[in-house]
Amino acid sequence: MATAVLFLVAFFLLAIGVPVGISLGFGMVAVALGFHTTNLTFLAQSMYSGFESLPLTAIPAFMLAGAVMETGGLSKRLVNVANKLVGNTTGGLGTVTVIACMFFGAISGSGPATVAAIGTIMIPYMVKAGYDRTYATGLSAVAGGLGIIVPPSIPLVIYGVATNTSIGDLFLAGIGPAFVVGGLLIVTNFFLSRKAGYLGDGSSFSTKELFKALWDAKWALLMPLIILGGIYGGIFTPTEAAVVSIFYGILVGIYGYKELTWPRVWKMLVDNTSFVGGIMLTFAPAAALGAVLALLKVPRDLTNLLFSISSNKIVVLLVVNVFLVFVGMLVDTTSANIIFSPILLAALKPYGVDPIHFGLMMTINLAIGFVTPPVAGNLFVASGMTGIPMGAIAKKAMPFIIAMFLALMIVTYLPITSLGLLQLLGRY
């Protein structure tokens, strides 16, 4: 009963537009006052501990780094490299969009930011080449989900903090699933483009032009190498890597590409402040929520519920994925990650599900949530950019959403896609 009251209060407040942190806080206060399962002192102590997490500071830092990369001229150079690689093939500009989203995701860690950065460049380019405008928008919206799968990923940082899982290992584990998702999107785009007649520009591949583009984008391409190489080389932590990426991006944008100015940097810092406050206001109650749910024995009860459905791991993982798909349709990705990842992970541990593997499952589900209405951040961004209704975009994007579901099933039932690289490097 206490658990039901907690979530009823929280989701009611969420439904009327109250921020997720405040909604969770009021839900726990209702339980503390009404059922005496816990007390306000315990809630305050648990909330304070939520602010003490050093990895938490990586989230606003990676967000700011993504903004710096977008305005500093790095994203358009990454797009140019992808275009020189595959732009002359059938559906080539669609393939460029997917690859560019992977490149930019390795810098920004954000789905909506990836849609905004790459979609702004690629959608007009694709329309000019004869692609249907809604098709181009739908592909950009779905491919933008790669921004949270390719490391470094903000949702992976959130998952790592919420479940006390190594963020560095999660980043490394994200590389395989990112290629699975990106590969399936490219294959889907190829067949749809061949059917629709979206052919290449007829030009032949030029090694000279490719190397020219690579040289122009050298500072942008070094970015993910510095971040991931520094983390796995033991030079700095993921949190320190996020800060390094900000300073690197500022220096490259101002002095390398000369497309960024100090006043614009200051504006980005100001704009990012509200996001930082929102994240902190969310994570403090989230830390207390985990402790309260443990007191209420919610993970144990959820495990028993799953066992009552089936003791077969394959069936249980399918049930959890279906549940998360519906969660992604109704709850924003940050809230879904904070609320459900600790509960579901605790419930799945008796089945032998690895925390890192589940983190990638959770992240792909969140990427699908970005393009499944009514709560669909990438569709909102894409619609705002083009003026096309969300419903029309979602309809054109449906084949790509199905490809994302297929990728989710592959990652779910083939843990080697996420854990293989860790095993190869001796980190697992």
pLDDT at 116 over 70: yes
Nearest Cα neighbor of 162 from 422, 338, 16, 393 is 338
Higher pLDDT, 352 or 7: 352
Which tokens in the block code for residue 21?
């942190």
Higher pLDDT, 6 or 418: 418
pLDDT in tens, 296-324: 777 677 777 777 887 888 988 999 998 88
- List the single range of 74-78, 164-168, 409-413 with lowest mean pLDDT: 74-78
**Residue-wise burial string across 36-47, b where 16 or more C-beta atoms lie within 10 A, e elsewhere:** eebeeebbeebb
What is the reported pLDDT for 359?
95
pLDDT in tens, 201-255: 666 777 888 899 889 888 888 887 787 778 777 788 777 887 888 888 888 888 8
What is the reported pLDDT for 354?
93
What is the reported pLDDT for 276?
65
pLDDT in tens, 364-415: 998 998 888 766 778 877 887 788 888 899 899 999 999 999 999 999 999 9
How far is Cα of residue 162 from the mean position of the Cα atoms in its chain? 15
Judge contact between 411 and 360, C-beta under 8 A.
Answer: yes
What is the reported pLDDT for 299?
67
Position 243, amino acid: V
pLDDT at 278 over 70: no
High-pLDDT (> 90) share of the chain, %: 20
Higher pLDDT, 269 or 96: 96
Rounded Cα distance between 24 and 286, Å, is 7
What is the reported pLDDT for 361?
94
Higher pLDDT, 206 or 195: 195
Nearest Cα neighbor of 378 from 400, 358, 362 is 400
- List the single range of 173-187, 259-273, 286-300, 302-316 with lowest mean pLDDT: 286-300
Mean pLDDT of 107-126: 80
What is the reported pLDDT for 340?
84
What is the reported pLDDT for 33?
84
Higher pLDDT, 385 or 259: 259
3-class SS of residue 352: coil
What is the reported pLDDT for 189?
95
Q: Of 154-158, 188-192, 300-304, give the range with the top mean pLDDT.
A: 188-192
Position 361, amino acid: M
Q: Which helix (H) or strand (E) holds 360?
A: helix 355-369
Nearest Cα neighbor of 40 from 335, 296, 292 is 292
pLDDT in tens, 60-69: 777 777 777 7
High-pLDDT (> 70) share of the chain, %: 91
Backbone angles phi, psi at 160, to 5 degrees: -60, -40
Query: How high does pLDDT run on average in the chain?
Result: 83
Higher pLDDT, 247 or 273: 247
Q: How many helices (H) and strands (E) does the chain have?
A: 22, 0
